[in-house]
Amino acid sequence: MIFNQQQSLHKELSRYRALQKTIGFVPTMGALHTGHLSLVEKALSQNGIVVVSIFVNPTQFNNASDLQKYPRSLDQDVKLLQTLNGVVLIYAPKPSDLYGKQVISKHYDFGGLENPMEGKFRKGHFDGVGTVLNLLFRAIRPDKAYFGEKDFQQLQVVRKLVQLEKLPVEIVGCPISREPHGLAMSSRNNRLSDTQFEEAGLIYQTLKEVQYKFDQYSVTKLKDWVQKQFSKNAHLELEYFEIAIAKTLKPAVRKRSGNTYRAFIAVFAGEVRLIDNMALN
C-alpha cells in the first residue's frame, strides 16, 4: 500500500499498533536494488509490519545536478516491494508533507562524526540527513530502523541523532550488498556505463588489498599506494581515501593498538560519485 500523506499513513499504522505489531522502518531515496530489498527482508523478519519511505531528500544534496540526476523509479520500486512476503507500507511524500513550507535543514552537532570524509566533501550533507530522518522517525515512530553499512558514516551519525533527539528507535546496521565483482550496490550504479561499472570493481579490490596489507604497512604508505592505483585508471578519479577509527571516524595518522580501524573511499566514475568502506582489523 502506498501513502503520500502522513495523515493516512498514521491511520493505517495505528491499526497495526492496536494489534501489538512492531514497526520496522527502512528509509530510502528509491531506485531500489537488492541491497535495499535485503534491508526490507531483514526488517520483515524482525517486525510485524515494515514501512519503506521513498523520498529523494533535497536538503542532503550539496550539488544541484546530483539531486536532479538522482535516479527515480517509483513504479518499479513499488513492484519490487510487492514481490516480498509480508506487510510493507510505502511512504512516498512530497517535500511539503514532511517539511512543511520551508524545506531547510536543522543544524546538528554530531560530536565530530559529521566532519571528515563525506562531511568534508559534501558540506551540510549530514545536517540534511539528520533533519529528514528526525522528521521521518517522528512521522512513523518505528521500533527498529535499518541502515546499510555502505554509508557507514551515516550509520554512526544516525546512532548519534537518535541520542540527541531522544528518539525511541533501535538502529540496526546491515552488511553491504555487493555485485559479483565486488562493487557495493548503490542506486547511483544505474548511471554507470558498462565500462565504468566494470572498472568500478577496482574500488572493492583496492579496499580488500588494503585490508590484507594493513598489518604490514603504515597509514601513509597505504594511502600513497591507493592514490597510485587510481592514478593509473583512466575511468576513475579518487576523491578521498581515509583510514579512520571506526567508532569516532577520526582519520588515523598512525596506527595504535587497541583501536578498530576502517577504510573509507569516495571515487568519481565520470559524474557519478561512488562510496565504499571496509573493516581493517
Q: What is the smallest separation between the CB atom of 146 and ligand PAF, expressed in angstroms?
A: 10
Q: What is the smallest separation between the CB atom of 265 and ligand PAF, expressed in angstroms?
A: 17
Using CB under 6 A as the binding rule, whether residue 131 contacts ligand PAF is answered as no
- Catalytic residue, chosen from 33, 36, 181, 235, is 36
Q: What angle (nearest 5°) sits at the alpha carbon of residue 188, between those of residues 197 and 39?
A: 110
Rounded CA gap, 138 and 10, in Å? 11
Task: For ligand PAF, give the closer residue by CB, 173 or 229.
Answer: 173
Rounded CA gap, 91 and 240, in Å? 34
How many residues appear in the chain? 281
Using CB under 6 A as the binding rule, whether residue 129 contacts ligand PAF is answered as yes
Instruction: Return the residues of window 183-242 that contact ligand PAF according to CB under 6 A.
Output: none
Task: For ligand PAF, give the closer residue by CB, 29 or 222.
Answer: 29
CB proximity list for 153: less than 8 A, separation 6 or greater: 113, 116, 117, 118, 119, 126, 249, 264, 277
| Cα of 182 vs its chain's centroid, Å | 17
Instruction: Return the residues of window 50-79 that contact ligand PAF according to CB under 6 A.
Output: 57, 60
3-state class (DSSP) for residue 59: helix
Amino acid (1-letter code) at residue 117 = M
User: Which among 24-32, 194-202, 221-229, 248-256 is the span making contact with ligand PAF, rule CB under 6 A?
Assistant: 24-32
Q: What is the smallest separation between the CB atom of 181 and ligand PAF, expressed in angstroms?
A: 23
Please state, in angstroms and as integers, the Cα–Cα distance from residue 101 to each residue in 94, 164, 231, following that order.
11, 24, 46
Q: What is the smallest separation between the CB atom of 30 and ligand PAF, expressed in angstroms?
A: 9
3-state class (DSSP) for residue 103: coil
Taking residue 271's Cβ as centre, other Cβ atoms within 10 Å add up to: 11
For ligand PAF, which residue of 50, 132, 272, 278 counts as binding (CB under 6 A)? 132
For ligand PAF, which residue of 24, 27, 116, 130 counts as binding (CB under 6 A)? 27
Q: What is the smallest separation between the CB atom of 205 and ligand PAF, expressed in angstroms?
A: 24
Using CB under 6 A as the binding rule, whether residue 118 contacts ligand PAF is answered as no
Using CB under 6 A as the binding rule, whether residue 153 contacts ligand PAF is answered as no
3-state class (DSSP) for residue 74: helix
Rounded CA gap, 123 and 116, in Å? 10
Rounded CA gap, 93 and 5, in Å? 6
CB proximity list for 41: less than 8 A, separation 6 or greater: 84
**Grid cell of 168 as nine digits:** 525511541
Using CB under 6 A as the binding rule, whether residue 28 contacts ligand PAF is answered as yes
- What is the size of the binding site for ligand PAF (CB under 6 A)? 10
Active site residue 36: yes
User: Which among 100-108, 129-137, 221-229, 269-277 is the span making contact with ligand PAF, rule CB under 6 A?
Assistant: 129-137
Q: What is the smallest separation between the CB atom of 266 and ligand PAF, expressed in angstroms?
A: 15
For ligand PAF, which residue of 41, 118, 127, 151 counts as binding (CB under 6 A)? 151
* Binding region for ligand PAF (CB under 6 A): 27-29, 57, 60, 129, 132-133, 151, 154
